[in-house]
Amino acid sequence: PRPTPPATTPEQAAVGGEALAGAGLVAPPGSPAPPAVTASTWLVADLDTGTVLGACGAHVPGTPASTQKLLLAATMLSRLDPKQVAVATRADLDIEPGSSAVGLLVGGRYSVETLWLGLLLQSGNDAANMLARLGAGSTQAGVAEMNAQARRLGAGQTHAVTPSGLDGPGQFTTAYDLALIARACFADAAFRRYALTERTQIPAQPALKKGGFQIQNENQLIYRYPGALGGKTGFTELARHSYVGAAQRGGRRLVVTLLGAEARPVRGWQQGAQLLDWGFGLPRDASVGRLVEPGEGDAAAAEPRNAPAAAPARTVSPPWRGPAGTALRRVGEGDWRMIVPLAGLLALTVGGVAAVLAARRGRSRRRGRRRA
């Protein structure tokens, strides 16, 4: 049984253009029909301009299998010195029994370049674990960095659980996201060199008394498709066949991504080759959308929005306290226009009271003399 993918939000479905939002086929108006393929979703785009030439279910989530190793490359290639030599640990070799591996040995010493070649030529899950550890300190930290890189690239529907693409709960990507990730990879000269390498030698380990051996590139596109630039194959029982491939022709570089394919009647890389042929046959101005640039989504989210107009300021009047209260407030605030009149009034009042009292005292004295 396949895991239930996360729901695609309207914002995610609209990334790259409204035409890419549907689950079905989208092609430029008037273009020939694309080849019939068994892939459940796919996309063809221009590596240089970012123009999307056609797609089917561009934003429909699928399981990546080993095409996820491209996200590992996009994350760690710039961090690691290809000449660095590291020792493989037992944890690096903790992979699903029977899954693809280079054949690293516990205690073996391998250069980072050898590990990249083992990852991309032989789809080594042991090499993936080791590269994630070397790039971030641990395999788990490497996966976290991969997810952060996916967000930076705009691949918002991609979530990695393993560095190798071995199935894990909640691990998904889309044909559109894979194109963003592949575009970042093919912009790196080292990746382009590794992806076109046909064979390489895994070095002997004298300390372990083990000899070296040769590995070959499993991507048949580089042998059989004129102008091939390389790519990545993938397969698990759950994901079925996935594929990413790129090629150049007539001054154009195109990339194809596909998920959920079956190997019959033709294999995944052959389906990719057919879609590349279709893309190269379209006019240069053909388009159904575009690949977003790294950081574009973050920049859009950071743009300031027009703030709502502020409500007009209201003047709050002080509470009414009557004439006396108002006068006392103005005196307290030092208003001389009120202090001087009040002082005069107070003086008059005091003088009047004093005069009245004096007159009363005089009458009392006269009355006292009469009694005597």
pLDDT digits (tens, 9 = 90+) for 263-300: 999 999 999 999 999 999 999 999 999 999 998 877 65
Catalytic positions are 66, 69, 123
Q: Give 94 or 355, the one with higher predicted confidence.
A: 94
CA dist 272 and 270 (Å) reads 5
CA dist 123 and 219 (Å) reads 10
Evaluated on CA atoms 362, 364, 365, 371, the torsion sign reads: positive
pTM here?
0.80
Q: Mean pLDDT over residues 235-255, rounded?
A: 96
Report pLDDT digits (tens) over 293-337.
998 877 655 555 454 433 333 333 333 344 444 444 444 444 545
Tokens representing residue 361 in the block: 């005292």
Contact 8, 59 (CB under 8 A): yes
CA dist 121 and 89 (Å) reads 21
Number of Cβ within 10 Å of residue 154's Cβ equals: 23
Of 308, 301, 255, 257, the closest CA to residue 279 belongs to 255
Q: Give 312 or 165, the one with higher predicted confidence.
A: 165
Cβ-proximal residues to 27 (8 Å cutoff; 6+ apart), any chain: 33, 34, 54, 288
